[in-house]
Structure 1
Amino acid sequence: MPTILITGCSSGFGLETARHFAERGWDVIATMRSPREDALPSSDRIRVLPLDVTDAASIASAIAQAGPVDALVNNAGIGFLNALEGTSIETAREIIETNTLGTIAMMQAVLPQMRERGAGVIVNVTSSVTYKPLPLLSVYTASKAAVNAFSDSVAIELEPFGIRVRVVLPGRAPQTSFGDNARSRLTSGFPEPYSELVQQVFAGWEQDAGPVTSVNDVAEAVWQAVTDQGSPTHIPAGADAIAWSNGS
């Protein structure tokens, strides 16, 4: 059976994607920084391993335990929102270290084995905010937009080795903990001059009854990216992401 390694499986997109592939007969290596049995119990198809994408030793240990993988899904990431003036350089580095450099580090870790076998698929989960700029998300958007561009470039260099690279771009997903996690990181609050904008943004999110993205939308998009050799390089996941990708 084919094997897939997925990062960030403690909740949300990663958790649902792990279940999605296991139900379809894949062997799943589900990773998270601090494995919890209540989050995703191990089973005949799912093996849970600790993995911090910002820690080289943690990555090496997880890859060694996982063995050869046919697909890698880079889903682990940090949600963050604040006005740029209220974002410290230390926080910006942390976001980019996880969302951008963590993706690069994971790819570097699996590429030798995939290249030697002449096959493999890598799926990088980014965000539809890279289609449509939104306030308070500038640093987060930068970290994800970098992965989009990086993926497009590395896809060209890996194609001769039989390795495909795809990007899945989820829309707004109330089912996940992104919003709560992003707000919890606001240790010093927003800069006062931006308070009116902040209130408008939060009110808009709470009142918006438009289309959203479900965790299953993302799991299905990742499934398409992995199993369909003819899938597009960028796959929007969710009705709102699809609309944004078309400029709506």
Structure 2
Amino acid sequence: MKKVIFITGASSGIGKATALFFTRLGWNVIATMRNPEQETDLSNNPNVLLLQLDVNNSHSINTAIEQGIAHFGPIDVLLNNAGYGQQGIFEAISAEKVREQFDVNVFGLMEVTRALLPHFRARKQGTIINVTSGVGRVTVPLVSVYAASKFAIEGFSESLAYELESQNIKVKIIEPGYIATPFYERAKADFAFDPQLSDYNAFQQNMENLFSSFAAMETATMDDVANTIYTAATDGSYQLRYVVGPDLQPLIDLRNSKADQDYVNIMRSQFMPKAFGNH
């Protein structure tokens, strides 16, 4: 019997790339998204079931799971991929936007996981793979709310992994570095800005110049992430974290090799040039 993966946020980016990758390797894919009627790349594949799912709507979550099992049979892997990145100066981000970030990235992920756990427990097997981000381990300015949501998923996943090992259920974390996906187009469009916060103008311009220079760096692709997700789904191990991208691993190595304040001082030196003063 073919293996089955259930993917949230499969309409674009890493989610869609992973759906296509798994179908090429013979898996059945339950590809969920908020507007499946708009999807064309996956719609004609007999190994793909397109379903509507909003991670903030429990009814749609439960319905998608029931329909997926009825169509393909037992689910082997859950990929929690749905999410977005709220960027900008923290003071410019409204309380409503902060809650929305956590509703989607954290609480939505938890609800999908909660809904599928009884199915995994009944089978005494299953793998949960949560896509976080490099900024869930080594954060930078202008992503405080997004990073907070990803730090939350890291902590949730690590604790949950210990619990679920007792049920023969594995939990994995995928940590991509910078990946060129539509994710960043939305992040740029939703970038929080408040013209009254002019005190930050010089700092923000400096950060934009710095981050623009990252575009020339060697980075991973969406297929690299999909391949890593496949490895996490099939390697049979209890490995918790999988780092994707040559830009991210050196920063994680730096954090792990330095005393905490030494690491913070090194990072601060990158974001706080002499023109702004050092502390």
Query: Would you say same fold, with TM above 0.5?
Result: yes
In the alignment, which residue of structure 1 is the partner of 2:19? 18
Give TM-score, length-normalised by structure 1. Answer: 0.95
Give TM-score, length-normalised by structure 2. Answer: 0.84
In the alignment, which residue of structure 2 is the partner of 1:224? 231
Cα pair distance change 1:148/1:58, threshold 3 Å = same
> Does residue 155 of the first structure (1) align with residue 161 of the second (2)?
yes
> How far apart in 2 are the matches of 1:231 and 1:21?
21
Gapped runs of 5+ residues in structure 2?
Answer: 256-279
Equivalent residues, number: 247
> How far apart in 1 are the matches of 2:39 and 2:141?
37
Give the aligned residue type for 1:226: A
Cα pair distance change 1:202/1:42, threshold 3 Å = farther
The Cα of 1:78 is off from its aligned counterpart by 1.4
1:74 and 1:125 in contact (8 A); partners too: yes
Matches within 5 A, 1:12-161: 12-35=13-36, 36-67=38-69, 68-161=74-167
The Cα of 1:187 is off from its aligned counterpart by 6.2
2:11 and 2:39 in contact (8 A); partners too: no
> How far apart in 2 are the matches of 1:81 and 1:166?
26
1:59 and 1:109 in contact (8 A); partners too: yes
> How far apart in 2 are the matches of 1:39 and 1:82?
32
> How far apart in 1 are the matches of 2:41 and 2:98?
28
Which secondary structure state, in structure 1, belongs to the residue aligned with residue 251 of structure 2?
Answer: helix
Name which one, 1 or 2, has greater alpha-carbon Rg.
2
> How far apart in 1 are the matches of 2:15 and 2:33?
9
> Does residue 192 of the first structure (1) align with residue 198 of the second (2)?
yes
Could you tell which deviates more after superposition, 182-191 or 116-125? 182-191
Runs (4+) of structure 1 exceeding 4 A deviation are 187-190
> How far apart in 1 are the matches of 2:223 and 2:32?
19
> How far apart in 1 are the matches of 2:52 and 2:174?
24
| Pick aligned residue for 2:185 from 164, 167, 180 | 180
> How far apart in 1 are the matches of 2:5 and 2:154?
21
The Cα of 1:63 is off from its aligned counterpart by 0.9
In the alignment, which residue of structure 1 is the partner of 2:242? 235
Give the aligned residue type for 2:212: E
> How far apart in 2 are the matches of 1:82 and 1:40?
33
Could you tell which deviates more after superposition, 204-213 or 226-235? 204-213
1:100 and 1:147 in contact (8 A); partners too: yes
The Cα of 1:210 is off from its aligned counterpart by 1.9
**Quick one: percent identity of the two aligned structures?**
37
